[in-house]
Structure 1
Amino acid sequence: MLQRLPWLKTVYTVWCWISLLFFIVCLFLFRDSRTMLVQYLWSFYVMLQFWFLCRSKTFTWKQAALFMLLGVFLVIPLTALTLLAAHGIFGGNTRDTWSQAVLTPIAEEVWKLLPLGLFLFFSRRASSMSLADYTLAGAGAGVGFQLMEELTRRWLNSGIIGRTYGYSTTLLGGETIHWDFWTLFPGRFEESLFPTVMSVSHPVHTGLVALGLGLAVRFRKQRGNKVFVLPGLLLAWSILDHMGYNGQDSLPDWFLKLSDWTGSGYLTKDAFILLLALGLFIDYAALNRIKGQLPKIEGEGWLTPFSELWYMGRALFTRRETFAPVLAWTRERREMGFSLLYGNEEAVSLRDSLHTRLQRHYRAAAGVTAVLLLLGVWAGFAAYSHISGHPTESACFSCMFDSLQNWWDRLDTWEKGAIVLGAFALSLLFVGFWPALGIALTAASIPASGHEIAKDIRDPKRLLTPETALSTLIALALSRVPFGRLAERLSGKAGRRLKEWLENLLKRPKKPKPEPDLPQKPHKPQKPEGEEPPSKKNPEEDPPPSDPEDYVHWSQARYKGVELYDSRNGALGEFDGVDLEKGVFYEAKSAKGLDRIHPKTGKPQQTPQQFTDKQLYQKTKVRINNLEKAVGTRTTPDGTSDIPTLEQIKGIRHFEFQLDGDSPALREAAENSLNRLRQDFPDYTFTIRFGVN
């Protein structure tokens, strides 16, 4: 669709810029927009620190940011639902010690590891990930979790102390949440008045446990399953620090003594930094074992993070146009190295396809879990209130939802639009257009439905209405009953029919421009002597002739000399020309010397059929199969410096062959070879041009 309608990209780009500019204007007009941006920038700064320190990473920034997004839209709702279920079963409120100091730390620290678990389960890349990748995955989920947690505190803290001294200031403890620019991993929890215990930020805890899990996976074959004791101990340590801070005024003395033995939270960050340094040393030591198989910069010796930083800095200050390619090149080299070292056959052969599927999985998760956001926020606040009885004023979170809608109703239309567009602009940094739109609309629906949410919190039985039960039964019928499945299939077919009709409507051929009415004498090509006219064929057997205006010589393609390579850096063949906009592979073939007579046999050295079977059928078949085996693309010595990536060319399904020869026998042989290709690869199309010099 995008190849046929390139203007959609332009519309999408213009819309993104308008949204961003409108959000910037709102920063000067509305306080809540500035509040949201402040917390987002703090979280972004923490993520940048992890990104810089994890030098052996193979993740792209977009992959790391997706973990942050899952921390917001997956971990937060699941944690809130867990607390709601516990309070619904056992009763009580969040001020109880068992809830605040025991259940909450366990639920939060365990659920923050879920995005990493999903990644390992769906991507099957555990064997080829670097230890820094594990750290980034855990830290990203922790950053997203803390972003949502602190943003909620900033929006809801409307007391006189919070308005005067800051949202994180308490009467007896002073400032409790510290965001310092010159601090490594800001966002720690520590009372500023008589501090005795501390809890590091959420990303440090989760990054520490994730790094321990990566070490266990890396050394499981040498040490056995007993190495998984390490991440288990690190998880227990994180939970202990979290519990010690939350329950410093209510837990028994023996537990606080145990917290003192482990450093009362003051040793956790130091331990994480030492463990991260060990992980980087292990990663680069492994890469240097196979440095002979990896591409290197001229004059480069050992592969170290300092040498990579040197080359990046040199590119930044001497030739800034090469800075981005150097960044991408060093990361891809590390990815290749870890694939060679630890990647099993499945990880190597399916890396690109699994990467694409994983991107779709995360985007789908961002869109689907946006629906859970409303339920998760409701569940989280309900868990911190008395479901049975009347809550105290400080724990009346249902009253906060009433206040939230009252505030929303007082806003003007432009102010509401500014908040929605701001959420849309921020979401576009991590997801595509439709998930970002869903997130923005969800952000607007929560305050607009504050009174209804408050009623549901006060009286959960309101959810058990006949309408809710009826909708549940209908959904069950459509998913389980055979008639429901039949209806689902019929709706799917109707949707496909509608899609095909729209595509055919959009592909209607343009009307040809009227030509001037001038007398012209038709030109008849002269028939060479001794050459028979080509036999008349069924027009359905030949591919439709291409529009002469669309003809592109293979040497005029934007990308030329695009070579595929495997996990061992071996060549897998090349494409003469590639056109991403039209979705065409150009292949130039020379038929010169085809009729040359062999001196010993007195016959042509190669028949036209032998030539086309080898040059068209066999080589193209190998090239298509190698697209699945390849791990990347690179340019040939005669190719263009700018070439598309493997993911970009995998979607191309059309080959155009350009032969410099032309004869009836060559045309017939070429058609036979192309028919074999069409049978083997029905989802591809193949056309050919003759007499192309």
Structure 2
Amino acid sequence: MLVQYLWSFYVMLQFWLLCRSKTFTWKKTAMFMLLGVVLVIPITAWTLMTAHGLIGGKTSDTWSIAVVTPIVEEVWKLLPLGLYLFFSRRASSMSLGDYTLAGAAAGVGFQLMEELGRRWLNSGIIGRTYGYSTTMLGGETIHWDFWALFPGRFEESFFPSLMTVSHPVHTAMVALGIGMAVRFRKRLTNAIYSLPALLLAWSILDHAAYNGQYSLPDWFMKIHEWTGSGYQTKDFFLLMLVLGLILDYIALNRVRSRLPMMEGERFVDPFTELRHMSAAFFRKRERFASVMAWTRERREMGFSLQYGNTEAVSVQEDLRGRMQHHYRMAAGLSLIALLIGAGLFAGFAAYWQAPVQPDDNACFSCMFDSLQNWWDRLSFREKGAIVLGAFALSLLFVGFWPALGIALTAASIPGSGHEIAKNIRDPKRLLTPENAAAALLALALSRVPFGRLAKKGEERLKEWLEKLLGRRTKPEPDVPRKTEGDKPEEKPDPDEQEQAPPKDSDEYVHWSKAKYKGVELYDSRNGALGEFDGIDIENGIFYEAKSAEGLNRIHPKTGKPQQTPQQFTDKQLYQKTRTRINNLIEKAVGTRTTPDGTSDVPTLEEIKGIRNFQFQLDGDTPELRAAAENSLNRLRQEFPDYTFTIRFGVK
């Protein structure tokens, strides 16, 4: 079962790498895979049971295997995508790569459970001897090849005459056809919806022909032969995927003047993005994750500008938070169900293999001794497979580093079984001087910002190499640095800080001195749409106060800041202001005061004409200034008729 999960994870990873125009995160893609497990599988089973309950017959009948089952499975695998298109307000800004990923992920989840069921119920002397996918007449029928693209095809190894690609390929192809129909329905009318209908019919044809190849009529098999006998399906899908990626990047380049560009980048294309990500990985790996996230977010912003409706643009930030909350709930429930199932499986396996009465001396600590004995008997490859499986499974629910920590922890527990058992039998062992010293040392090391020490060590090594080679490196271009001729910057007097003129405006007014404070927008349902900290009607200024307290706080385990300045300004300055402007223009129907605001507030019509935002930030560092300028430049590009200024060090 672990091997099957690793195969499914490998297939999902192939789709993830090929869909270069995606805006979905890995967690959102994993959500579609989980829906393929916890939603599609039960509904498919209930549908088939209902059909047999109404019509009768056996599940081995031709009409059930080759007619009803292919139709039901291929249609219900599209259910996660349909629910997302129906309920998600961001669906209008999906890329064609997102459609492909959604279909592929649901197909991966469905095939994972289908193959787990086959492995679980594998019986017979041939299956036990040669594997669960081997038959007497057909030989090996399910092929999982590491060097194959989308492994898991169904094809007999003895005298093959037809095949069917895996479930992910079928569903991804139909989902991509749906995306093209949605994208071009205005130009090509609703007749374009015949494309996904034909692709769905093709998938059902391939599926049905393989399931009923020895019992279906000749005319049906002849039609299947005209379509390539299943051998042309994957090739056709790959051509569609290439076309979809080209169309996606053409759409992005239509709005590239409103998108942030990398240095030296003239067009938005996948090759330049890959080049920048590769450069970040090999030169400055700490930036690799940021570069990947930045390119994905840029594509998301481009498709939102190009295709997103008003609702998709205005509620994008709030929607992302709510979807993440619901996803975590679904992921937690799925994980609990998986753990329960694994426990039941382990219990039954132990009962079947050793149906004896437990010894009277059985104890809780002995379980850890047995656990390490079992772990020590495993080979290196078996231990590696378990660690890799724990990592791949954890990656569905958490990020990369937490998943790696979970996998290593899962390996360390059985590897320390004897020590854990000794501590349970004799808790006083933990009070020895050796254990106390080890605990104190571990506590001290956990408080050391390892990332900062590593960075200093890297700088020392670089300086040593520069002296050795006689060269000097250039400073970072995006962070202002002092030169030898610069005068030391004098810190302003706290009492005079509010009276000092800001850098980007002629007259400075603290946000708390504004006539109107705490002005909240609300929609037609009386729902809150965000608030302005201060408003100056006479001068036409929105005041926004931001706090950067604790921004550079070091995480004790990672040794890195919990939030970088760029992440902070992108969220607090760019994303929130962008949402506020869109809500002000499109969704707001009125204004009202907040509990801490002034009793008198301006009307919506009075503030709609204001085009000046002034941010007042209590932090002030070179990195924070550079990050804020990047975020404000994104706002200036997206809203050219607005003015955005900022003052630092405002308490």
Question: Which amino acid is the alignment partner of residue 676 of structure 1?
Answer: G
1:118 is aligned to 83
In 1, Cα distance between equivalents of 2:394 and 2:80 = 20
Between the aligned partners of 1:115 and 1:416, the Cα distance in structure 2 is 40
- Structure 1 unaligned spans of 5+: 1-35, 377-399, 437-586, 595-604, 629-634, 653-671, 681-687
TM-score, with structure 1 as normaliser: 0.55
Per the alignment, residue 203 of structure 1 pairs with: 168
The CA deviation string for residues 426-471 of structure 1, in whole angstroms up to 9 with x for no partner, is 65432479xx9xxxxxxxxxxxxxxxxxxxxxxxxxxxxxxxxxxx
Post-superposition offset of 1:154: 1.6
Deviation at 1:140, TM superposition (A): 0.2
Alignment of 1:656-675 (within 5 A): 675=596
The verdict on how the C-alpha distance between 1:320 and 1:254 changes in structure 2, with shifts beyond 3 A counting, is same
Residue matched to 1:350: 315
- Three-state SS of the structure 1 residue aligned to 2:514 is helix
Offset of residue 317 of structure 1? 1.6
Partners of 2:160 and 2:211 lie apart in 1 by: 13
**CA offset at residue 318 of structure 1?**
1.9
Q: Which residue of 2 aligns with 1:643?
A: 567
Which residue of 2 is the match for residue 62 of structure 1?
27
TM-aligned CA deviation for residue 335 of structure 1: 0.4
- For 1:225-624, what aligned pairs fall within 5 Å after superposition? 225-366=190-331, 407=352, 410=355, 428-431=394-397, 590-592=497-499, 612-614=513-515, 617=518, 621-622=531-532
1:96 is aligned to 2:61: yes
State the secondary structure of the residue aligned to 1:643.
helix
CA distance, structure 2, for counterparts of residue 613 and residue 240 of structure 1: 69
Q: CA deviation at 1:320?
A: 1.7
Aligned residue number for residue 382 of structure 1? none
Local SS of the residue matching 2:222: helix
Give 1:182's aligned residue: 147
Q: Is the 8 A contact 2:142 2:155 kept in 1?
A: yes
Q: Evaluate the alpha carbon distance shift between residue 624 and residue 416 of structure 1 in structure 2; reply closer, same or farther with a 3 A threshold.
A: farther
Could you tell me how far 1:354 is from its partner in structure 2?
A: 1.6
User: What root-mean-square deviation, in Å, do the aligned CA atoms of Structure 1 and Structure 2 show?
Assistant: 4.5
- Deviation, structure 1 residue 274: 0.2
Shift of 1:329: 0.7
Q: List aligned pairs for 1:151-170, cutoff 5 A.
A: 151-170=116-135
Q: Using a 3 Å threshold, how does the CA distance of structure 1 residues 404 and 85 change in structure 2: closer, same or farther? A: farther
What amino acid is the match of 1:92? Answer: G
Cα offsets for 1:273-308 (capped at 9, x unmatched): 000000000000011111111111111112111111
Whole-angstrom CA distance in 2 between matches of 1:627 and 1:165: 72
Counterpart of 2:556? none
- In the TM superposition, residue 195 of structure 1 has moved relative to its aligned partner by 0.6
Cross-structure match for 1:105: 70
Secondary structure of residue in 2 paired with 1:622: strand
Give the Å deviation of 1:613.
Answer: 2.6
Report the Cα offset of residue 648 of structure 1.
9.0
The alpha-carbon distance between structure 1 residues 646 and 271, as it changes in their structure 2 partners (threshold 3 A), is: same
- Taking a change above 3 Å as real, the CA distance of residues 430 and 249 of structure 1, as seen in their structure-2 partners, is same
Q: What per-residue deviation string (whole Å, max 9, x for no partner) do you get for residues 579-626 of structure 1? A: xxxxxxxx99954389xxxxxxxxxx99x9997234855699425999
CA contact (8 A) 1:73 1:370 kept: no
Letter in 2 for 1:612: K
Deviations 1:36-91 (A, max 9, x none): 22111111110111001100000011111111111111111111111111111111
Identity rate, percent = 60
Name the CA shift for 1:196/1:329 in 2 (closer, same or farther; >3 Å).
same
Could you state the TM-score of these two structures normalised by the residue count of structure 2?
Answer: 0.59
Amino acid in structure 2 at the alignment position of 1:592: Q
* Residue of structure 2 in register with 1:676 after alignment: 597
Distance 2:65 2:267 in 1: 50
Q: Secondary structure at the match of 2:568?
A: coil
Compared with structure 1, are the counterparts of its residues 360 and 427 closer, same or farther at alpha carbon in structure 2 (3 Å cutoff)?
Answer: farther
**Matches of 1:103 and 1:128 in 2, distance apart?**
35
Partner of 1:186: helix, strand, or coil? coil
Distance 1:405 1:322, change over 3 A: closer
Secondary structure of 1:292's counterpart equals helix
Q: State the Cα deviation string for residues 7-63 of structure 1 (Å, max 9, x = none).
A: xxxxxxxxxxxxxxxxxxxxxxxxxxxxx2211111111011100110000001111
C-alpha change, 1:246 and 1:291, in structure 2 (3 Å) is same
Q: Post-superposition shift, 1:312?
A: 1.1
C-alpha distance 322-288 of structure 1, shift in aligned 2 (>3 A): same
Q: Structure 1 residues 154-163 or 224-233, which shifts more?
A: 154-163
* Alpha-carbon displacement from aligned partner over 1:642-692 (angstroms, at most 9, x marks no partner): 53387799999xxxxxxxxxxxxxxxxxxx998425999xxxxxxx9xx99
Distance 2:597 2:17 in 1: 52
In the alignment, residue 40 of structure 2 is paired with which amino acid?
Answer: V
Query: How many pairs does the alignment contain?
Result: 436
Distance change >3 Å, CA 674–CA 367, structure 1 → 2? closer
Return the letter of the residue paired with 2:89.
R
Larger CA deviation: 147-156 vs 358-367: 358-367
Aligned partner letter, 2:69? T
Change (3 A) 1:199 1:674: closer
